[in-house]
Amino acid sequence: MNLALHELLNVHVALRGHPIDYPRSGGLALARAGHSSPVDAVTEHDGHPGRASIEWRSHDSAILGAVDEHRLTEDGAEAVALAYTHAVGRWLVKRRLRRGEYADWLLQTDGQSLALEISGTMTDDGRGRLKEKKEQVTRCTLPASRMAVVVAFVQPMILAGTV
Amino acid sequence: MTEAVVETFSENDLDTLVSIAIRRAEVLEDVSSPNAQEAWLEVLAYEERLAAITAASNIAGGIARAGAVHAALAAGRREEAERLAQNYLSDPSLPAERRMAIERAFEEDNTRLAAHFPALAKSGRLGEVQAWRREVAKSASVFPRAA
């Protein structure tokens, strides 16, 4: 599976115009973890292992000194997770959800909807985080499929779980 | 942004705008910024318009309706939230799950107020806070960000 972060806005056109530059955030988060494009990532979707190659365009890493690290991890994780969900299910961003909906984004494809909760981590236990996020998205009451995705950056990993 | 301008946006435009506005409002709320309420007013404008152009039975329409009520509450406009809720709940096609989401928005607002005003909550006087916020909301030029 190839995840081209620089193509993200061509895939998810609803992200165009966002003040957050998701493709750049994804690349910078991976660069901050010491990686250069492309990087191989381990994937695990409902326990099934796989691999993904994540590509991005290089950015001036001097900006890393000026960004909020927590925010970069979260925005970078959103970039990778949105690329991943499109790659595995052709899901496209519809809109962001407020916190009270217990998911970050509503995605759609062919008349189906997906409530997606995303989290990013540099070094923490991704599987433990996935468990927490799956519990969170379980509380989402929307008539939609529900999925949690955790992106780990130091040892690149995409963990996904449906509920 | 005026109501007339918001009315010119398509659903896709509004989806993008509300996504940006929600993110901004939540970030401002996280840092207890006095601008958070204003940011929620922007969310309210987009959610209300989305609610107006989408069916209540549709997932996007249901999200917008609960979102508009929540945004009005987060902006300190409880009367407006109550008016919107009454309007949305009167639509028989609104799914039960969305009715509960609207009710939950009021419960969450009460919980939030109780956390900010624990002594008043303990003595059952949160209504006074709500009455005060209503007055402040009417006098937009006087202590506009105090509530």
User: Domain extents for chain A?
Assistant: 2-162
ipTM of the complex: 0.91
pLDDT at B138: 67
Q: For the whole model, what pTM was predicted? A: 0.90
Does A99 contact B16 at a Cβ distance shorter than 8 Å? no
Q: Which residues of chain A neighbour B11 with C-beta distances below 8 Å?
A: none
Count of C-beta atoms within a 10 Å radius of residue A70: 10
Cα–Cα distance between B128 and B120 in angstroms, integer? 8
Question: What is the DSSP-derived secondary structure letter of residue B57?
Answer: T
**pLDDT tens digits for A34-68?**
999 999 999 999 999 999 999 999 877 777 777 88
Nearest chain B residue to A105, by CA: B19
Q: Which residues of chain A neighbour B16 with C-beta distances below 8 Å?
A: 14-18, 95
Does B16 contact A142 at a Cβ distance shorter than 8 Å? no
pLDDT at A69: 87
Does B15 contact A98 at a Cβ distance shorter than 8 Å? no
Cα–Cα distance between B35 and B147 in angstroms, integer? 11
Question: Cα distance from A140 to chain B (closest Cα, Å)?
Answer: 10
**Residue with more model confidence, A92 or B76:** A92
Lowest mean pLDDT among A54-68, A122-136, A144-158: A54-68
Interface of A with B (CB under 8 A): 14-20, 93-101, 106, 113, 141-144
Contact indicator for A22, A15 with CB cutoff of 8 Å: yes
Q: Which residues of chain B neighbour A97 with C-beta distances below 8 Å?
A: 22, 63
Contact indicator for B56, B116 with CB cutoff of 8 Å: no
pLDDT at B146: 46
- Specify the 3-state DSSP secondary structure of A50: strand
- In the predicted structure, residue B71 carries a pLDDT above the cut 50: yes
